[in-house]
C-alpha cells in the first residue's frame, strides 16, 4: 500500500512538469512532438529510478 501512495505522489509531482513541457512544445509538427516525447521520457525515467530506490529501501 505504501508503494502505491509513493507512486501516486510522484505522479502528482510530475503533473506540473508535464504540463509545462506540453506548453513549451505546443506546436503540432512532427519534430516538436518527438521532442516532447523525449522530454517526457526523461521525466518518467527520473521518477521511475526514484520509485525503484524507494521500493528497495523499505
- Each residue's pLDDT, cut to its tens digit, for the chain (58 residues) gives 577 777 787 788 889 999 999 999 999 999 999 999 999 999 888 888 777 777 777 5
Number of neighbouring beta carbons within 10 Å of residue 25? 19
pLDDT at residue 58 in the model: 57
Report residue 16 as a C-alpha cell.
506540473
The domain of 41 spans 1-56
pLDDT at residue 47 in the model: 81
Cβ atoms of 58 and 2 closer than 8 Å:
yes
- Overall number of domains in the chain: 1
Whole-angstrom Cα Rg for the chain: 14
Amino acid at each position: 500500500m505504501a508503494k502505491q501512495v509513493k507512486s501516486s505522489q510522484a505522479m502528482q509531482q510530475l503533473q506540473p512538469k508535464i504540463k509545462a513541457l506540453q506548453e513549451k512544445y505546443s506546436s503540432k509538427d512532427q519534430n516538436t512532438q518527438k521532442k516532447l516525447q523525449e522530454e517526457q521520457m526523461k521525466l518518467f525515467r527520473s521518477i521511475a529510478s526514484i520509485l525503484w530506490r524507494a521500493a528497495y529501501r523499505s
